[in-house]
A and B are shown apart, each in its own frame.
Chain A
């Protein structure tokens, strides 16, 4: 049998996978086995290579699934990281008796879980270790509501708390607020689910789920990963975003004017926005494009030819009317561009249709935006859209939450350690 030479790290990984896996199998009931326990012989004797595994023979997973995103760093992953195909946003409420030391223990446990799982390794005490082996660019991002900051006895950023009420809002408390946010993203839905389960189990003695919202984009590998996502109205959604890796991105996203524990952090706004797909069906293509100010096929502004063209808000047609109408979403959203842009990293949702309902969709956008300052970036845009935006005809905010995303941590530290 020919053995490919593999780097030690991957070999160690697969060995651990195997051992945890084997152990789990034995625990379930192998009558002949007394648990996989002590393995002797030369050091090589317990090192499987991936080529030895029948299920992986002749199969090379793509980077989108095999790849792991570094967990540790100055900033948390899952923000500047290219958006994965699947995500779940979970808000938890701390149990009443949790104090600052409980909070530290909680974040220690969750950080350890996240660090292992994002590396494609089972969490400690992972009861389904086999579900952990496909990292699929998994990221886990934590955010804090006001109560967490208060428990730690630190000053909160001025913008941390519920957003002002907007006229378009029809908020359901079941999708609002929370003490602790966990954003989980990966290119594999099973990886997302396993990660969520592991973290929720480990959080259970400290905090209980308040809401959980799952979203999706196109499957990884289905299109160029650099492509802008499409929402359920068929629009390219995210074109105007600052590009990850640029100064523009850093300035838009990483908070500076904040208490020191938040330096390197950012803010997160999640708006659950119901989209009336049945109503949208009735609008012709031209109407749809004018609603946004961009075309549906390429996403080019109505004043341009390719997606990357800047919308020209001054351009007029032959009759002297603005090419991008006064009510267009893009025009309204650009109204307050004096401030930095926000970074939108949303996901589509498509929930169960209600039995017997006239509407055959229960769908929308998990509008997720990161920005340095909620009050300076998100709120002015939302206010402008609240005042005038034809898109509001078919979109309704039904959930709303704001979290402070603390900076990343180094190995040995934990997310939120700057609070203590």
Chain B
């Protein structure tokens, strides 16, 4: 269904410099990833981490790469930290604020492309945490892909106090899973 990056309302706009660099390197024909690409069958993850939290809400971050020759969509995720997980995008609302909201249809990663999950950007939202996730703990994250397969990775927890985040439609969306105030994303110092 949702298979092309066009369906994202949020298409990432690279910072100007990054865009220039990205454009420039498409001309590189000596890409050694080419060999990898032919044999790869699924996504790979790296630099994954979760923000440490006492309870409530937190998120998993990292880089997901699609080294295959076809688009892959992450349709859902579960974690060892709680029973509630959502895939979230961050985008600008009408008043110009950056807000987060569940992404319809999941994250589609184009063939040869990648997805950055990061504070202030896309992320895997972990809600209803009751047991503290302490710095240095490992959280297991399982992604379900559009072909029904799953991909598991471990994300160590880190203390992190950056990136103020807002939740889109605190009042208009029906949040029956409790406290969705993203101020919870702020660490108590």
Interface residues of A (CB under 8 A from B): 1, 3, 5, 7-8, 11, 16, 18-19, 21-23, 25-27, 30-49, 52-53, 102, 104-106, 108-109, 112, 124-125, 127, 201-202, 204-206
Contacts and interface: CB of A to CB of B under 8 A. Distances in A.
B21 A53 contact: yes
Nearest to B48: A124
B135 A26 contact: no
B47 interface: yes
A227 to B, nearest CB: 39
A31 B30 contact: no
A11 B24 CA distance: 14
A66 B39 CA distance: 33
Interface residues of B, number: 66
Contacts of B151: none
A293 B130 CA distance: 67
B43 interface: no
Interface string B1-19: 0000100101111110110
A34 B14 contact: no
Contacts of B178: none
A100 to B, nearest CB: 12
Interface stretch (B76-84, B105-113, B140-148): B105-113
Contact of B33 (A16, A44, A53): A44
A34 B119 contact: no
B12 A124 contact: no
B184 interface: no
B21 A39 contact: no
A31 B96 contact: yes
Contacts of B51: 125
A125 B158 contact: yes
B153 interface: no
A48 B22 contact: yes
Contacts of A39: 12, 14, 22, 110, 113-114
B58 interface: no
Given A26-B15, A40-B110, A3 B28 contact: yes
Contacts of A8: 32-33
